[in-house]
Amino acid sequence: MLELKDVCFTIQKEGESVNLVDHASLKVPRGHFMAIVGPSGCGKTTLLKTIAGLNPESGGALFWGGRNLSEDGDFEPSEIGYVPQFSIAYDPLTVDESIEAATRLRVKTRDAEDLDHRIDRVLEETGMTAIADRPVKVLSGGQKRRLGLAMELVSDPKLLLCDEVTSGLDPRSEREIVRLLHDLSRRDGRIVLSVTHSLAHLELYDSILVLHEGRVAYHGPPELVTHYFSVDDTEEIYPKLATQPSERWMTSWSKHQEAYYEKLERSRRRAIEAGALHVPEIHDEGDDADDDDEKPSPAAPALRTPGFFNQLSTLLSRRWRIFFRDRGQVFLQLAILICFPLLVILFSDKANVPIPSLSDSKLENTLVEMKETASVYATWAKVGSAISGIIMFQVILLSLMGSNNSAREIAGERQIYEKEKFGGLRPMAYLSSKIVFLTCLVAAQSIWMGVFVNFFGPFRGEFTQHLVFLLLINGAMTAVCLGISALMRTAEQASLLSIYLVGFQLPLSGAVLALPSHIEQFTRPFISAFWAWSGSIESLESKAAFAVDSVIPTQPSSHDACLYTLLLHVGVGLLAAWIGARRHQWD
């Protein structure tokens, strides 16, 4: 049994405490199908999230099977299913692949046969067997709602919470979904709570919970709701609610509550006796031990959540599948890999000019000596500017690649991630899958950039050291933008901030124009481009380094300082990503 006793959820609004859920008390027995209805803004979804544990209750207590969830710990992931208003599946995947991934992330199956059986069972329960191979992106609204239900049923939850799963559907699809939820509540004593704004098909529910301004105005049989509110039609209930303050409705309900609950219990007994409702003989402390005289059997053990590596492999497999099926993303990555190095080598000829040295011997003609010296300095300036520019061009382009890699990686799928985290996904497994996937992109982009440019214009120095800094600038920007993506609430916010971050790399690096010293000492530690450029300059051969030093006012830092600073940037980015991944950001 699910029981709420004076449950409140309070927020602060303009310095005052406001109860969005106000002393809600109700009982829901096993095998029960309940609708939560009420006008917009009455607290339906807030109550559902409070039951789920997404909103911590500010007062009162919730009991599940006699267990006080406020004191004895929350639901186990396998005990509860939550179907939100938004789609929880990836468009490029098929129905079967979506359910398989959900199963692998939530349930530790014995073997492949157990996995296939579980997938086939939920496909059959939700009526999706015939479209198992269909991509999610072509499903209708009703089919996506069925898929959302199927992805929750893989763990056999005993409590299924549905938030507006019928909104936006045509009348036929709406009735099909309500009928499906009704059937699901009849299996294994499952409780199904469905938030809906619609007052259609109420006869399919076992009970109706009517909320008004966060308070319970009614909870009883659907056939008695019009009588209770003294209206002729259910459509008149909402206008009727507005005629009295919510406090009066709650007070009135408290007087009639026991009588209506007795009617609900009698209806439930008749359904069990008629075989229309199957309730397993599992005795919950706090439940009425009155279903049968037989001795109740112990509750089935909760399903185990898969381990870290199982979740990691599932996430990686899914991520690569999504990547290769997104043709736009694949073409973009190929275009970047081809075009960005080509842009760099367009300027490589200017850096391949031999670097002359000043003559050690004195010339008899001073004018000739001055001209020769001026020519050497001019060549140094030309070659030094070209070398520095090419290195910085590589650095900036790889910074742009890093931003493109990860700016939307977490923020773009925040809702799905939060839902999967609620279902038992480990944040560390999720973040590790992102790191592995992005590391592959960083390695491919950086190594190809370095090797391709070096082939057409050999690097004047230690190429391996230069390649390390190319990897680090891409990795640093990818990690920092991943952190931004994890901390931002929307993909648009993350993309915008990442673009600004890349845009400031060149002007604040000091590699083109020197910044005032009092500004430079504050900005330089945060500019990844400077440290990658500076480290690459340090790895140049002496003549090339001297040529660069003759024209660039910014003094390069030591190789070790550049290396450790970029590694620190990577670490800071990953730390921010970890904080963002762990933080609750359910919208």
Specify whether 395 is located in the same domain as 530.
yes
- pLDDT reported for residue 20: 92
Q: Which residues of 191-211 are buried (b: 16+ CB within 10 A; e: fewer)?
A: bbbbbbebbebbebbbbbbbb
Specify whether 411 is located in the same domain as 455.
yes
Do 403 and 501 form a contact (C-beta atoms < 8 A)? yes
- pLDDT reported for residue 512: 62
The residues pairing with 26 across neighbouring beta strands, listed in sequence order, are 4
Tens of pLDDT, residue by residue, the chain (587 residues): 899 999 999 988 888 888 899 999 999 999 999 999 999 889 999 999 999 999 988 999 999 988 898 888 888 888 999 998 888 899 999 999 999 999 999 999 888 999 999 999 999 999 999 999 999 999 998 899 999 999 999 999 999 999 999 888 888 888 999 999 999 998 878 999 999 988 888 889 999 999 999 999 999 999 999 999 999 998 899 999 999 999 999 999 988 888 888 888 888 888 777 776 767 654 544 444 444 433 444 455 567 889 999 999 999 999 999 999 999 999 999 999 999 888 887 777 666 666 666 555 555 556 655 666 666 656 666 666 777 778 888 899 999 999 999 999 999 999 999 999 999 999 999 999 999 999 999 999 999 999 988 887 767 778 899 899 999 999 999 999 999 999 998 999 999 999 999 888 877 776 666 666 677 777 788 899 989 988 888 877 766 666 666 666 556 678 899 999 999 999 999 999 999 999 988 76
Region of 532 (left: φ > 0; alpha: ψ -120 to 50; beta: rest) is: alpha
Residue from 441, 522, 422 nearest 479 by CA: 441
- pLDDT reported for residue 424: 92
For residues 486 and 479, give the distance between their C-alpha atoms in angstroms, rounded to a whole number: 10
Of 300, 320, 338, the position where a domain reaches its end is 300
Structure tokens of 198? 């619609």
- Domain count of the chain? 2
Region of 570 (left: φ > 0; alpha: ψ -120 to 50; beta: rest) is: alpha
Specify whether 493 is located in the same domain as 375.
yes
Q: How does DSSP classify residue 430?
A: H
**Based on C-alpha coordinates, what's the Rg of the chain?**
32
Residue 504 CB coordination number (10 Å) = 14
Specify whether 280 is located in the same domain as 213.
yes
| Range(s) of the domain holding residue 514 | 330-350+368-582
| Main-chain phi, psi angles of 67, to 5 degrees | -95, 130
Specify whether 282 is located in the same domain as 336.
no
DSSP element (H, E) containing 173:
helix 171-185
Structure tokens of 280? 């397993």
Specify whether 502 is located in the same domain as 403.
yes
DSSP element (H, E) containing 20:
strand 16-28
3-state secondary structure of 407: coil
Residue from 39, 75, 12 nearest 305 by CA: 75
Specify whether 344 is located in the same domain as 481.
yes
User: How many Cα neighbours within 13 Å face the side chain of 306?
Assistant: 27
Residue 104 maps to a domain:
no
Specify whether 391 is located in the same domain as 531.
yes
- pLDDT reported for residue 371: 67
The separation between CA 377 and the C-alpha centre of its own chain, rounded to angstroms, equals: 56
Residue 180 maps to a domain:
no
Residue 156 maps to a domain:
no
Specify whether 268 is located in the same domain as 334.
no
Specify whether 255 is located in the same domain as 384.
no
Distances (CA, A) of 375 to 357, 358, 364, 585: 10, 10, 18, 63
| Main-chain phi, psi angles of 162, to 5 degrees | -125, 125
3-state secondary structure of 193: strand
Torsion from C-alpha of 327, 328, 332, 335, nearest 10 degrees: 60
The residues pairing with 533 across neighbouring beta strands, listed in sequence order, are none
Do 552 and 388 form a contact (C-beta atoms < 8 A)? yes
For residues 587 and 585, give the distance between their C-alpha atoms in angstroms, rounded to a whole number: 6
Q: Where are the alpha helices (DSSP H) in 80-170?
A: 95-106, 112-125, 141-153
Residue from 260, 149, 175 nearest 209 by CA: 260
Q: Which is it for the CA torsion 7, 12, 17, 18, positive or negative? A: negative
Of 262, 278, 300, the position where a domain reaches its end is 300
For residues 11 and 17, give the distance between their C-alpha atoms in angstroms, rounded to a whole number: 6
User: How many Cα neighbours within 13 Å face the side chain of 445?
Assistant: 34
Specify whether 466 is located in the same domain as 546.
yes
Specify whether 252 is located in the same domain as 339.
no
Do 323 and 436 form a contact (C-beta atoms < 8 A)? no
3-state secondary structure of 286: coil
For residues 198 and 191, give the distance between their C-alpha atoms in angstroms, rounded to a whole number: 20
Residue 162 maps to a domain:
no
Residue 116 maps to a domain:
no
Do 211 and 44 form a contact (C-beta atoms < 8 A)? yes
Q: How does DSSP classify residue 18?
A: E
Residue 444 maps to a domain:
yes
Residue 12 maps to a domain:
yes
Residue 275, amino acid: G
Residue 149 maps to a domain:
no
